[in-house]
Chains A and B, each alone.
Chain A
Amino acid sequence: MNDRTDFGAALTRWQKPWHMLFYKELLRFRRVSFQTVVAPVIMALLYLLVFSHVLESRVSVFGGRVSYTAFLVPGLVMMSILQNAFANTSSSLIQSKVTGNIIFFLLAPITPWGFFLAYVLAGVLRGMVVGFGVWLAALYFAPELWRPVAPGWVILFGFLGGAILAMLGVIAGLWSEKFDQLATFQSFIIMPMTFLSGVFYSVRSLPDFWFKVSHLNPFFYMVDGLRYGFFGVSDISPWVNLAFVGTVFVMLTWGTWLLIARGWKLRN
């Protein structure tokens, strides 16, 4: 009997069980990359084409220092990161729950942190890949963006935004019993918060009331922070953005981990 146990123990030293779960999540979106990567990039470019064509000559942002098309690109990059990070974790979890194959890794010796990291990192990675694709394609329309002013801020806010939405995706995936419930979460929470976060406009152009309301939307700080990375200017200080986004990140990390550790809607 011991030889079998030792076999497992010896090989375990080489690889953590959650690495395989992470790899499976990557494989899942890579296998359908047209749907998970190419289609969202095309969608973002359509937004760029339509909005920039209609509004380029009518909207002035940051006192005219930045063209509207260029202004739009970081917003669309962030929107793509957020939506795809959320879609990756939430759809993967609900699929595993509905088909029942979630049992394969619930029976495995994967810790709650391992479960958390596998899903969230895969979600962030898909978000970042799509965001990178949007940025590359958008360079055709706004070549001045080939070199962001502060690339560190771009990566930092891209990562934090992706991670926050990936965690929200985990929560939504755990909570939902069927695809319909997930669609509700996406349509009534994620989409409105994304569209009303300043992706398509500067919040300074809004009436005072809506300007204040925008500050209650955590997505606004992610978009504004990423925009600072590209232009060196933003609606509010990047440090304020970082403080807000960082706080949400820490709180959601704790909350998501706690739900997984307690087996919320996973283990009876």
Chain B
Amino acid sequence: MSAQQRAREEILARMRRALDGAGEAPEPPREYRRSLDPDVDITAMLVDRLVDYKANVHYGLNSIAAALGEAKRVVVPADLPAEWRLGAAEFAPDTGLSTADLDRMDAVLTGCAAAVAVSGTIMLDTGAAQGRRAITLVPDHHVVVVRPEQIVGHLAEALPMLDRTAPQTWISGPSATSDIELQRVEGVHGPRRLDVVLL
């Protein structure tokens, strides 16, 4: 047996010894909510929560150009819908750009997998129109397009929409820290500007 196997066997044996006679734990009660009340306007709530966490919100396809603002070079996933490429920026499809290339981009434009109203969370799972993780991380400005059917009220409704074993990034507002006197300050290592376009 290798040292590694020995460690594994010993830890498992310790666990079993520790649990000797412990029996089974009861089935967990799940009486919590899995959705919001039907009368809640989830789009309005999503907007409210996004703005509360300092994201900018825009409406309609044509607002993409405004959301991109001054950005000159914009990286996009190779499968981004062509009709989203709006405005004067130069769009660079990600065909395996180097980190240095990504670092020269002013912004990134992507879609998403789901958006959760109650917490203002945009979820990416590297699926359609989202690209790999690095492209939404290195540029300082992220513009993300949300389709109406991607908006759900509750986290429990969003999880089944994700590709569970794909790399995921759940985003709630721009990069922030509360490390100094527990005051939330926007803007550290991730994109410091987050614009959300609701179709």
Instruction: Report if A and B associate in a common complex.
Output: no
